[in-house]
């Protein structure tokens, strides 16, 4: 397997990808954190109730973070490819599987967010939101949250595989990136089990919130470390 760090084109691709991931993490996290919960377990005042048709007044503000997440998820796949190129040759199967799982998770999440942006948003504005109760992001037991739970859980597994492959290569900055991915993925999977056992049928969007936070931290930190490694290992002119 070709080492990404050995080719100028590979280094440029990796650094550009890492920068894109960091920028997308900052923007998506800022937009999501400043979007107050309108329903479910974390909503304290002015909560919307089923069928959540009153949410039309919060369009498009409540959906801005999803646009940034689309960019982040696509960039995350490119970062996974970069990590695969940096991973130890003897662990290529693990990193390759991680890329495939990350691609599958991103496909699911892009479809999930795409439905919100292209279907649910206009339906709410047209007064047709009552027909899409199952898909509403304000439904803590709806398909939107369920697909997010699955998508970020799969990304957690992908992080574990990518991290284990990269951490086994060397102890430097690349190794630190690998351990960051491994830890972030493991925490995501542990959070899934813990939330499921603690809340059972009342899970709501608790795991989704936790998984999003861990995904932002994992991608942001690992992207910075990957970029630093690629810059440090570049041949000096």
CA angle 90, 91, 96 (to 5 degrees): 130
**Is 3 within 8 Å of 82 (Cβ atoms)?**
no
Please state, as a whole number, how many other Cβ atoms lie within 10 Å of the Cβ of residue 8: 9
First to last CA, the chain: 26
pLDDT in tens, 85-144: 998 777 889 999 999 999 999 999 999 999 999 999 999 999 988 889 999 999 999 999
CA distances (Å), origin 224, targets 21, 50, 137, 181, 189: 9, 42, 31, 12, 23
CA distance linking residue 109 with residue 199, whole number of Å: 23
Residue pLDDT, tens place only, 162-200: 999 998 766 689 999 999 999 999 999 999 999 999 999
Tally: H helices and E strands in the chain = 7, 0
- Residues 203, 214: Cα–Cα separation, whole Å: 18
């Amino acid at each position: 397997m070709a080492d990404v760090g050995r080719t100028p084109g590979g280094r440029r691709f990796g650094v550009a990808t890492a920068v894109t991931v960091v920028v997308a993490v900052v923007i998506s996290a800022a937009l999501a954190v400043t979007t107050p919960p309108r329903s479910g377990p974390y909503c304290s005042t002015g909560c919307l109730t089923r069928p959540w048709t009153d949410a039309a007044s919060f369009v498009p503000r409540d959906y801005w973070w999803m646009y940034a997440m689309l960019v982040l998820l696509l960039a995350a796949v490119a970062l996974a490819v970069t990590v695969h190129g940096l991973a130890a040759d003897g662990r290529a199967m693990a990193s390759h599987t991680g890329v495939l799982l990350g691609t599958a998770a991103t496909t699911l999440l892009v479809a999930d967010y795409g439905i919100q942006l292209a279907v649910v948003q206009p339906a709410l504005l047209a007064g047709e939101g009552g027909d899409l109760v199952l898909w509403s992001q304000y439904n803590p037991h709806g398909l939107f949250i369920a697909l997010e739970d699955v998508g970020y859980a799969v990304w957690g597994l992908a992080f574990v595989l990518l991290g284990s492959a990269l951490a086994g290569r060397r102890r430097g900055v690349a190794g630190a990136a690998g351990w960051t991915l491994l830890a972030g993925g493991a925490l995501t999977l542990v959070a899934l089990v813990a939330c499921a056992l603690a809340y059972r049928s009342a899970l709501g969007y608790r795991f989704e919130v936790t998984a999003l936070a861990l995904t932002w931290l994992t991608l942001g930190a690992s992207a910075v470390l990957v970029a630093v490694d690629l810059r440090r290992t570049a041949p000096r002119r």
